[in-house]
């Protein structure tokens, strides 16, 4: 493994490229029990590239090594892609490169992806995107802030309530009405909700949260998390697991590369059952390796509208109701030739619809071709029956329960937790799920059988925390460089407010991250506009990595594997 650069850069106090190399070593050591040995062949072929000083610079006002972690994950994804490409045809010595500026931009993707120049924070964007916010959990500020980090009755004790994509139940749980039409001021909304939360202790909120089956958690330091029964159970789990789900089917060899661009997953069919960011990022990454990814959602279930502009790149999307007999029949027909299933729901949800992973593996055995079942959730530990494995949750919940939020608050000079900017744990978890999926795909091709691959937002956070915080001098430099406005944030500020302030500071300090060589644009017929998004950070010699179709909203396409459009010129954009 080596560190390279595309232009000469002056030395800095901390090198992200060297940190990525260290993170990659740690990643390999901690996950090698789950990886095919063929991936090891490429360990020394990884090159971390940077276009400028920015690539080697810590860019976010955060204490944890997010850039290094995700660069290392992308490098391991490259090892997997190279190994799969080798079994599809000729096996030249493949160099693997990860561009560090693109990694950094990828971590901000949902805030810098835009349509005709309109990004997530522009109020005009709403007019361009189909409204899947069925319960006004995003569009109504008061209801959106039902997902927030608040202080309890006990001074210095914090709880993150989370109304998910519905909001009413959580608001009612703390004694507030579902709607307050006259409450439209950001700070007034926060004061109202935190005032209601402060009527309860953390223990009382935890009890209510369980009774109402909501996605809230106590906000713990990492030290306290490790002492919980769940935290102790997670200590023995690697970042992801890949386990046999059935061994009674033969290997499923790949066809040799057909004419056109060589992508390592060409010909594979992936069903994505996910919403929001982390799970769909797995699907987007598999699509970037050439898989046909069909995202299936229901028109009766809400999703965050803008996120689809980001995470649906490269896919087809369709709508099916798996409680409707006609739609079940269509879904069953899609399953007949599917190779991979991505399940991003809380453990047990898809199984409750009649699709347990074991049953799907049995169907796969009947057809004579195994499947790869990939699960991504919040808490992890379902393979061990860990205490919180079945709880619902989202990125902020994992960040709060594992200790990430407390690290962010301490960095900001506060004796309170703060949610980090951007959905970085979501994207990082998506990268982990991609590696797990590629490991299962490789094993199915070479060993046969069906495989179940598991990871979680919490497992990503545990790994991130294991790398430690930046040295004191680096943190001091970040505090000096970034705008003071960011450091005025408090525990109860929303993830959007935090991310917008961080984005303004990053744009000011590091304009290179938004340059043309970092971003890619294409006209999306589905959105009737030009969509711009970050380019893929990963390159592997001899194969193409990128998307051959622009993004689209949920439910846009027919539920079929046939007649998919493709624009291969996007791979060279």
Q: Residue 163 and residue 148: Cα distance in Å, rounded?
A: 9
Q: Residue 55 and residue 16: Cα distance in Å, rounded?
A: 7
Q: How far is CA 36 from CA 79, 83, 96, 444, in A?
A: 10, 9, 18, 11
Q: What are the tokens at 77?
A: 């994804």
pLDDT of residue 115: 97
H helices of 198-348, in order, are 202-212, 222-227, 229-234, 278-288, 305-311, 325-335
pLDDT of residue 296: 98
pLDDT of residue 1: 59
pLDDT of residue 93: 80
Q: Residue 447 and residue 224: Cα distance in Å, rounded?
A: 41
- Give the position of tokens 């990939």: 374
- Give the position of tokens 């006990």: 154
3-state secondary structure 535-555: CCCEEECCCCCCCCCCCCCCC
* Series of mean pLDDT values for 10-residue runs along the chain (573 residues): 44 83 97 95 95 96 98 98 89 90 98 96 93 95 98 98 96 98 97 98 97 97 98 96 93 79 92 98 98 97 95 98 97 98 96 96 95 98 95 97 98 98 98 98 97 98 98 97 98 98 98 95 97 97 96 98 95 86
- Give the position of tokens 């699509």: 287
Q: How far is CA 369 from CA 20, 250, 366, 492, in A?
A: 38, 7, 8, 50
pLDDT of residue 572: 87
In terms of phi and psi (left: phi > 0; alpha: psi -120 to 50; beta: otherwise), the region of 449 is left
DSSP string for 407-456:
HHHHHTT-SS--PPSTTHHHHHHHHHHHHHHHHHHHHHHHH-SEEEEEEE
Beta-bridged to residue 99, according to DSSP, are 49
């Amino acid at each position: 493994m080596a560190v390279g650069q595309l232009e000469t850069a002056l030395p800095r106090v901390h090198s992200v490229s060297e940190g990525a190399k260290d993170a990659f070593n740690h990643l390999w050591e901690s996950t090698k029990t789950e990886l095919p040995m063929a991936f090891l062949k490429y360990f020394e072929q990884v090159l971390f590239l940077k276009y400028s000083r920015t690539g080697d610079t810590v860019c976010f006002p955060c204490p944890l090594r997010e850039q290094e972690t995700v660069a290392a994950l992308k490098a391991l994804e490259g090892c997997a892609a190279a190994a799969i490409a080798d079994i599809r045809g000729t096996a030249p010595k493949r160099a693997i490169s990860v561009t560090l500026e693109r990694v950094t931009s990828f971590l901000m993707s949902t805030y810098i992806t835009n349509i005709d120049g309109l990004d997530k924070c522009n109020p005009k964007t709403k007019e361009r995107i189909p409204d899947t916010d069925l319960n006004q959990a995003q569009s109504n500020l008061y209801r959106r802030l039902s997902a927030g980090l608040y202080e309890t009755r006990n001074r210095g004790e914090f709880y993150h309530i989370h109304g998910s994509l519905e909001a009413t139940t959580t608001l009612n749980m703390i004694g507030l009405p579902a709607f307050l039409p006259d409450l439209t001021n950001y700070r007034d909304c926060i004061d109202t909700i935190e005032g209601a939360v402060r009527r309860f202790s953390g223990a009382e909120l935890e009890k209510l949260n369980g009774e109402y089956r909501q996605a809230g958690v106590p906000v713990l330091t990492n030290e306290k998390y490790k002492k919980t029964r769940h935290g102790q159970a997670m200590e023995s789990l690697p970042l992801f697991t890949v386990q046999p789900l059935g061994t009674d089917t033969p290997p499923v060899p790949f066809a040799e590369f057909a004419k056109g661009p060589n992508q390592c997953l060409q010909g594979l069919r992936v069903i994505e059952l996910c919403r929001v960011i982390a799970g769909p990022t797995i699907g987007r990454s598999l699509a970037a390796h050439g898989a046909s990814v069909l995202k299936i959602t229901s028109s009766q279930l809400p999703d965050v509208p803008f996120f689809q502009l980001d995470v649906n790149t490269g896919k087809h999307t369709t709508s099916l109701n798996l409680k409707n007999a006609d739609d079940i029949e269509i879904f069953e027909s899609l399953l007949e030739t599917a190779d991979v299933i991505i399940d991003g729901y809380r453990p047990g949800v898809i199984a409750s619809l009649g699709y347990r992973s074991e049953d799907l593996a049995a169907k796969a055995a009947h057809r004579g071709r195994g499947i790869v079942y990939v699960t991504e959730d919040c808490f992890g530990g379902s393979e061990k029956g860990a205490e919180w494995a079945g709880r619902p949750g989202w990125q902020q919940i994992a960040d709060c329960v594992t200790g990430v939020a407390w690290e962010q608050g301490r960095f900001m000079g506060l004796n309170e937790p703060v949610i980090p900017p951007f959905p970085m744990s979501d994207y990082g978890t998506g990268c982990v799920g991609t590696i797990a999926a590629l490991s299962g795909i490789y094993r199915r091709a070479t060993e046969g059988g069906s495989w179940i691959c598991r990871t979680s937002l919490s497992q990503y956070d545990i790994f991130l925390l294991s790398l430690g915080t930046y040295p004191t001098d680096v943190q001091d430099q970040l505090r000096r460089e970034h705008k003071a406005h960011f450091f005025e944030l408090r525990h109860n500020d929303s993830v959007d407010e935090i991310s917008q302030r961080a984005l303004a500071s990053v744009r000011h300090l590091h304009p290179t991250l938004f340059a043309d060589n970092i971003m890619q644009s294409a006209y999306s017929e589905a959105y009737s506009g030009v969509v711009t998004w970050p380019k893929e950070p990963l390159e592997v010699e001899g194969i193409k990595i990128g998307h051959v179709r622009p993004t689209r909203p949920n439910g846009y396409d027919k539920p079929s594997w046939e007649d998919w459009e493709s624009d291969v010129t996007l791979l060279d954009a």
